[in-house]
Chain A
Amino acid sequence: MRSNKLGWMLLAPTLVILGLFGVVPFIYVLWVSFHQWNPFAANPEMIANGADNFRQLVFDTGFLSSLSVTLAFVFFAVTSELILGYALAQAFMKDFPGKAFFRTIHTLPLIMAPIIVGSIWKLMTTPSIGIIPDLLDSWFGYDLNIGQSAVAAFVTTVVMDIWHWTPLVTLSLIAALVALPADPFEQAQIDGASKRQIFWHITLPMIRPAIVATVFIRLMDALRVVDEVLMLTGGGPGSATRYIGVHIFREVFPRTNYGYGSAVSVVVLYITILVCWLLYVGLIAPRNNKA
């Protein structure tokens, strides 16, 4: 009916901005990653050095340890959030007064800035200021010190992430559970199916799309966690919570070794894509083939 010219004109500002600040940085970082470039080094010029940066990366223990703690963090956080979120969603399916009210409160953490969440948990867990070390000490005689114990710091970041993001899983799964038809469940009950059978053979397959979508979003967000960890532990003690984003922010970026830093960025981006692709192949693609 109308010329496409107008359509492209309406789309143009979006394409230009996303191009300049999304695509160009991507190409630029790829290009720099094949160079040696440190403006504050003896030779500040940009020199092509092939894959040297990437070769160096493979033996960089700081980078590798950061990568492994990131994956551990993502695994523990997302798994706990999924199990907890499902349990809470099921608990929400019963009839009780004040549902809307409780739902509203449960949504609250989702809108909070990650850095504020970090600051809150710092105030909760710093010895002598926070209430958690105090309670743990008087109840169990356990001395929680996230500034000294690597395990305590790691667990605290996971707990913080659970507090922040479980509501997203819960609310997504509530939406999925509410939309389920009642018939299969009534039929199964008449046939005498156990609760566990109903869960594995009816509920789970039916809400699987919602679970996959939620895990996908949580996985991507957990992989790039930075702000709250930076605030809570600063990546420490040592490198216990120096997740990949924190590693780039604290170690790679300030070193002004731009060539090497770019190589790190490229590899992190590649790993993110790889993890998402594996999830896609493992969870989403088989479902589409079946349908």
Chain B
Amino acid sequence: MKRQKPWLSVLFWTLISFVTLFPIYWLFVISVKPTVDLFSTPEVILKSFYWQNYVDVLTDSTLRRYMMNSLIISTGNAFLVTTLGFLACYALSRFDLPGKESIFFWTITNRMAPPAVFLLPLFLLLTQVYRIGDFSLADTRIGMILVYCTFNLPFAIWTLRPTIDGIPKELDEAAFIDGASPWKIITEVIFPLARPGLAVTLILTWVFAWNEYLLAATLTNFNARTLTTGLSEYVTTTGTAWGVMAAISVITLIPALIVFSMVQRHIVAGLTFGAVKG
């Protein structure tokens, strides 16, 4: 019917892939060059590797603390939102709650709103209102874990809903008749069946929390600062340390790349809230 020229397509997509990959490769190139080499004519081919930038980053105690914070906040947040999202989806799927579809839709509006709008109110609430005695949530890891729920919890609920809805109701009804408690039904009947969906949700929410910058930059100033804010600090201080900045970027990128290789097929469906099957 149509004249097919497969090699033309391969050539075209090789070109497109080059456009996609080259900027990432360039990041790596800068990260393994000493500063003195940066200001000569840009060279695409690497002749030698200069690892000192990475050594500098990994031995910097401040950056190590930022890394630890990023790790704790994104892991804590991912487990929290996946658990809460799982329970919420079970409630939305199995109970006849009045107005539950409105609640379901309302959750996503929390994610739609531009985060910049919430910088000021969240800052004020965290520093002045949400406090018990001397303890305020501002600049704490637990505070950031809770704040990140605003975008990750709706995501978890929207990606888990089809999974839970897809588990036949007959299964938990049978278990109920056998005398299983609701808790047992959730943990021993639903949970094992929902596990693949939960894993994808956990991984994607982890990446979103790991990647977040804006809220971390405004709501933390010392104790709970994350790696992404560390990156921007390296730009604003006088005279950008380009090599170090590139090295931090690569280090921040690596977990996302690992995650990418695990859930590549689910990313598009995830980013479009299942409007598009990936």
Q: Which residues of A contact B (CB under 8 A)?
A: 1-2, 4, 6-8, 10-11, 13-15, 17-18, 20-22, 24-26, 28-29, 32, 88, 91-92, 94-98, 102, 104-116, 119-124, 126, 128-131, 134, 163, 167-168, 171-172, 175-176, 189, 210, 213-214, 217, 220, 223-224, 226-227, 230-231, 244-245, 248-249, 252-253, 258, 261-262, 265-266, 268-269, 272, 276
- For B251-278 the 0/1 string (1 means CB < 8 A from A) is 0110011011000100110011101111
| B120 x A105 contact (CB < 8 A) | no
List B residues 136-157 near A (Cβ within 8 Å). Answer: 146-147, 149-150, 153-154, 157
| B44 x A131 contact (CB < 8 A) | yes
Contact status of A11 and B97, CB under 8 A, knowing A21-B150, A25-B122, A114-B213:
yes
CB distance from B159 to the nearest CB of A (A): 14
7 closest A-B pairs by CB = A7-B95, A113-B211, A224-B114, A96-B9, A25-B121, A245-B116, A10-B91
Contact status of A105 and B276, CB under 8 A, knowing A18-B110, A28-B124, A115-B232:
no
For residue B6, which residues in chain A have a CB less than 8 angstroms away from its CB? 94-97
| A213 x B272 contact (CB < 8 A) | yes
For residue A248, which residues in chain B have a CB less than 8 angstroms away from its CB? 116-117, 119-120
Contact status of A245 and B214, CB under 8 A, knowing A113-B228, A214-B272, A258-B120:
yes
Contact status of A108 and B20, CB under 8 A, knowing A11-B97, A26-B121:
yes
CB distance from A141 to the nearest CB of B (A): 16
- For B229-262 the 0/1 string (1 means CB < 8 A from A) is 0011001000000100110010011001101100
Q: Does B72 contact A (CB under 8 A)?
A: no
* Complex CA distance for A105 and B260, rounded to whole angstroms: 10
Further 6 A-B residue pairs, CB within 8 A, beyond A96-B10, A111-B267: A11-B88, A110-B271, A116-B27, A134-B41, A245-B115, A258-B124
Can you offer 11 A-B residue contacts whose CB atoms are under 8 A? Answer: A7-B94, A11-B91, A14-B84, A20-B146, A28-B124, A109-B20, A210-B276, A224-B116, A231-B235, A248-B116, A248-B120
For residue A17, which residues in chain B have a CB less than 8 angstroms away from its CB? 84, 146, 149, 153
For residue A172, which residues in chain B have a CB less than 8 angstroms away from its CB? 268, 272, 275-276
Q: Considering only CB atoms and an 8 Å cut-off, how many residues of chain B contact the other chain?
A: 96
Number of A-B contacts (CB under 8 A): 282
CB distance from B117 to the nearest CB of A (A): 4
For residue B13, which residues in chain A have a CB less than 8 angstroms away from its CB? 91-92, 96, 98, 102
| A129 x B88 contact (CB < 8 A) | no
CB distance from B34 to the nearest CB of A (A): 13
Contact status of A95 and B4, CB under 8 A, knowing A4-B95, A10-B87:
yes
Question: In this complex, what residue of A is CB-closest to B6?
Answer: A96
For residue B59, which residues in chain A have a CB less than 8 angstroms away from its CB? none
| B88 x A14 contact (CB < 8 A) | yes
For residue B273, which residues in chain A have a CB less than 8 angstroms away from its CB? 217
Q: At the interface, is chain A mostly helix, strand, loop or mixed? A: helix
Q: Does B173 contact A (CB under 8 A)?
A: yes
CB distance from A46 to the nearest CB of B (A): 11
* Complex CA distance for A269 and B117, rounded to whole angstroms: 7
| A110 x B97 contact (CB < 8 A) | no
* Complex CA distance for A129 and B34, rounded to whole angstroms: 12
| B260 x A111 contact (CB < 8 A) | yes
* Complex CA distance for A139 and B117, rounded to whole angstroms: 43
For residue A13, which residues in chain B have a CB less than 8 angstroms away from its CB? 84, 87-88
Residue from A98, A119, A121, A231 whose CB has the most chain B CB atoms within 10 Å: A119
Which listed residue (A107, A110, A115, A168) contacts B213, Cβ 8 A? A115
CB distance from B185 to the nearest CB of A (A): 10
For residue A268, which residues in chain B have a CB less than 8 angstroms away from its CB? 114, 116-117
